[in-house]
Amino acid sequence: MKTLCLVLLLSFWAGSAVFAQGEIDTERKVLIRNEWSFAISARTDGLEFDYRSGKFVDLYKKNLWDCGLGFIKHPQQYRAANPYVTGYGQYCFGKKNFCFDVFYSRGRQRSLFQKQDLNSVEIRMFYFAGVSLAFLKPIYYEIYYDQNTVESEKFDPVNHYATITLGTSSFAKGFDEISVVPGAYIKAGLSVEFGKSDKKLAALEAGGKLSAYVKELEIMAQDKNYQFLGSLFVAIRFGRVYHGAQYEYLNDYEDY
């Protein structure tokens, strides 16, 4: 719900800005607008960081390449601390594996509305299709058995209870047991570019992502896990425009 509200606010702000009047932009503009950028995305199922490269096709379109790293959470995981002990942090009881993925995709971007002055925005539509690899790293917990015995063990839904689970062991434990699950995904959304320099990229994005893996991602031990994932996202993006021919000012563009 929070993500949906952000999307609606973003859309309202963008629509208002489209019709705003502002100072005329006298900066020499980049015509052949290749670009690169970095972004951080808040998804309804986790967090994502990506690098994107865009190559000029015409005044309205770019070919895009996107790669990055994401962290996937289960909808039923909640962090809490053991109320009976001190000195241990919060953890997600019942979580079996920590899940992260790396991804690569290709896509296309099209400009729907281009900037007219310094205070206006550019609205763009984009879509991607690509592949991903999900990595599942086992989580070890500190399990209390008696006053002299605390063992570091992977979660066991039969023998481990919230009252005897003190917290997680070192995050480094379990890296030698990582399993890999291949998958594929599609992503689409809208981007509002609001930077006031023609050579710097600053944008807000919102959209959706659908992912499919060859098997379920075993994140939780007792709750249902999923093979197909859908999420909404909002992102903040910054980057540069490069390798551009210059022109003084264009009042009108012709569609290609």
What is d(CA 62, CA 251) in angstroms, rounded to the nearest whole number?
A: 21
Q: Is residue 57 domain-resident?
A: yes
Q: Is residue 112 domain-resident?
A: yes
Residue 31 C-alpha from the chain's centroid: 29
Reading the block at residue 208, the tokens are 């959706």
Q: b/e for 99-113, b at 16 or more Cβ within 10 A? A: bbbebebebebebee
Query: The dihedral of CA 145, 151, 152, 155: what is its sign?
Result: negative
What is d(CA 171, CA 98) in angstroms, rounded to the nearest whole number?
A: 10
pLDDT for residue 4? 42
Q: Which amino acid is at 196?
A: K
- Give me the number of domains the chain comprises: 1
- Could you tell me how many residues make up the chain? 256
The string of pLDDT tens digits covering residues 180-202 is: 999 999 999 999 998 877 788 99
Does the pLDDT value for residue 6 go beyond 60? no
Residue 216 C-alpha from the chain's centroid: 20
pLDDT for residue 158? 87
pLDDT for residue 146? 81
Neighbours of 193 (CB within 10 A): 19
Q: Is residue 146 domain-resident?
A: yes
What is d(CA 49, CA 67) in angstroms, rounded to the nearest whole number?
A: 9
Beta bridge partners, 247, equal 29
Q: Is residue 39 domain-resident?
A: yes
What mean pLDDT is predicted for residues 90-97? 93
The string of pLDDT tens digits covering residues 106-159 is: 999 999 988 776 677 899 999 999 999 999 999 999 999 887 789 999 999 888
> Containing domain of residue 230, as a range?
2-247
pLDDT for residue 118? 65
Q: Is residue 199 domain-resident?
A: yes
Q: Is residue 254 domain-resident?
A: no
Q: The domain that contains 182 carries what CATH number?
A: 2.40.160.20
Q: Which residue has the higher pLDDT, 117 or 35?
A: 35
Q: Is residue 174 domain-resident?
A: yes
